[in-house]
């Protein structure tokens, strides 16, 4: 898949811009604070429907304006789709070929994006919630049933937690009703576990080789830390264990008013052999591990969807030495449309520059550099 055109209206520091993108490599250069990352963010929103940054969606709208529009033309083989997301303070409107899409789950598989930003270090060293969000976003792009199931799970979880509080306040509450909610929660949890274990398994098939090819070091893998204590997916075992955990902690859950076990409590960790990178790795090592995971996703997306995703790389080369940089480049091939930001072209590999369309960014203005 290729994003051939991007149009932004009142998005962050951009009043109105239209960009024709190269099907291979696109590089946006400029000083910090000029709006390079905003371009990547807009493309990410066009795929995922929300920003990779935290904060209220009103911050996406250019100061003094009421509405922002992000438009893109997507080409998949011979099929061309016009995507549009309109965002205001209190609403978000999504459309494909001018037809409104009511549910995010019906939209999110249209345009697959994989993005790396310096903030992604939080995937290694941040909270479990950051890592769960990463899993949920990536898997949702591959399986619309996953996001539907996850939304249902979260609604049932909220209902269960509220009823636990009711049971704490009112001892006459009906335990049988809690059991009904619990059964529904476990049904959704099983599917979430299935897809998470599958996805991490596919990542682990790729990251070890990529990391070795880039660094010469062996042993990188991801370990899923499951709150119910399983190391692999087995539907019957997961059902039994989750039910057992919830039943045996009934009184504790009532006291806390929270469901203490399930996918919403899980985590994963990066390991090099027996060493957890969160503890035993430098920031540079953590950064490289996350980049490798993003690269490991590329063949997974291609295998499952039939299309390579769009790769968004924010300032990826500034802190990587020359040898590793050259080895990373071979994973960015002509089949993958890649959008890169950088402060200048000094750190960009010549092979990438030869295939690239280059854009200069200055204070909300974008100009395509003429080919030499």
Average pLDDT of the residues in 276-283:
92
Give the DSSP H/E element, type plus range, for residue 25.
strand 25-29
Residues 343, 229 contacting (CB under 8 angstroms): no
Residue 319 pLDDT class (50, 70, 90 cuts): confident
Residue 371 pLDDT class (50, 70, 90 cuts): low
Q: Token pair of 183, please?
A: 């059964």
Residues 35, 349 contacting (CB under 8 angstroms): no
Q: Token pair of 230, please?
A: 């399983």
Which tens digits make up the pLDDT trace of 18-54? 999 999 999 999 998 899 999 999 999 999 999 988 6
> pLDDT at position 219, please?
92
Higher model confidence: residue 370 or residue 364?
364
Percent of the chain with pLDDT over 90: 76
> pLDDT at position 7, please?
97
Average pLDDT of the chain to the nearest whole number:
92
Residue 237 pLDDT class (50, 70, 90 cuts): very high
pLDDT at 139 over 80: yes
| CA–CA separation, 259 and 81 (whole Å) | 42
Nearest 5 degrees, angle CA 7-CA 12-CA 17? 25
Kindly give the residue spans of alpha helices, DSSP state H, lying in 216-343: 235-248, 250-256, 277-280, 283-305, 322-329
Helix orientation angle between 128-142 and 175-215, rounded to the nearest 10 degrees:
90
Q: What are the backbone angles phi and psi of residue 92, rounded to the nearest 5°?
A: -145, 125
Percent of the chain with pLDDT over 70: 97
Token look-up 């345009």 returns 111
Which stretch, 167-171, 256-260, 368-372, has highest mean pLDDT?
256-260
3-state secondary structure of 282: coil
Question: Cβ–Cβ contacts within 10 Å for residue 142, how many?
Answer: 21
pTM for the model stands at 0.93
Q: Token pair of 164, please?
A: 């636990």
Question: Cβ–Cβ contacts within 10 Å for residue 317, how many?
Answer: 20
Question: Cβ–Cβ contacts within 10 Å for residue 54, how many?
Answer: 8
3-state secondary structure of 299: helix
Which tens digits make up the pLDDT trace of 179-207? 999 999 999 999 999 999 999 999 999 99
Average pLDDT of the residues in 257-266:
96
> pLDDT at position 59, please?
85
Average pLDDT of the residues in 130-158:
96
**C-alpha dist (Å) from residue 358 to 177, 302, 355:** 61, 26, 10
Which tens digits make up the pLDDT trace of 326-347? 888 888 866 899 999 998 888 7
Q: How far is CA 266 from the centre of its chain?
A: 17
Rg (Cα) of the chain, in Å, rounded? 22
Q: What are the backbone angles phi and psi of residue 26, rounded to the nearest 5°?
A: -130, 130
Give the DSSP H/E element, type plus range, for residue 150.
helix 144-169
The strand pair at 310-314 and 338-342 is best described as parallel
The strand pair at 2-11 and 67-76 is best described as antiparallel
């Amino acid at each position: 898949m290729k994003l051939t055109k991007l149009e932004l209206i009142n998005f962050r520091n951009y009043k109105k811009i239209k960009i024709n993108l190269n099907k291979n490599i696109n590089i946006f250069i400029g000083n910090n604070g000029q709006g390079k990352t905003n371009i990547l963010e807009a493309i990410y929103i066009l795929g995922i429907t929300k920003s990779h940054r935290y904060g209220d969606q009103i911050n996406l709208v250019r100061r003094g304006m009421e509405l922002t529009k992000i438009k893109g033309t997507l080409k998949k083989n011979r099929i061309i789709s016009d995507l549009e997301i309109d965002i205001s303070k209190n609403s978000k409107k999504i459309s494909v070929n001018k037809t409104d899409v009511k549910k995010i789950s019906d939209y999110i598989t249209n345009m697959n994006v994989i993005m790396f930003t310096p903030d992604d270090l939080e995937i290694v060293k941040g909270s479990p919630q950051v890592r769960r969000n990463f899993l949920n976003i990536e898997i949702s792009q591959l399986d619309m049933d996953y996001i539907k199931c996850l939304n249902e799970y979260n609604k049932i979880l909220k209902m269960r937690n509220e009823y636990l509080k009711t049971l704490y306040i009112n001892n006459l509450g009906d335990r049988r009703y809690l059991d009904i909610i619990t059964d529904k929660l476990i049904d959704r949890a099983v599917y979430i576990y299935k897809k998470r274990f599958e996805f991490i398994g596919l990542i682990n098939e790729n990251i070890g080789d990529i990391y070795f090819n880039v660094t010469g070091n062996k042993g990188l893998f991801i370990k899923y830390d499951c709150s119910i204590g399983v190391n692999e997916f087995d539907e019957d075992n997961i059902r039994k264990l989750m039910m057992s955990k919830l039943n045996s902690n009934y009184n504790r859950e009532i006291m806390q008013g929270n469901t203490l076990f399930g996918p919403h409590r899980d985590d994963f960790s990066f390991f090099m052999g027996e060493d957890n990178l969160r503890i035993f790795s430098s920031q540079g090592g953590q950064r490289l591990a996350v980049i490798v995971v993003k690269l490991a996703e590329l063949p997974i997306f291609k295998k499952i969807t039939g299309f390579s995703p769009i790769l968004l790389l924010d300032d990826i080369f500034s802190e990587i030495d020359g040898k590793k940089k050259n080895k990373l480049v071979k994973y960015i091939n002509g089949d993958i449309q890649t959008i890169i930001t950088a402060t200048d072209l000094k750190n960009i590999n010549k092979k990438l520059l030869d295939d690239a369309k280059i854009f200069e960014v200055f204070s909300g203005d974008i100009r395509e550099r003429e080919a030499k």
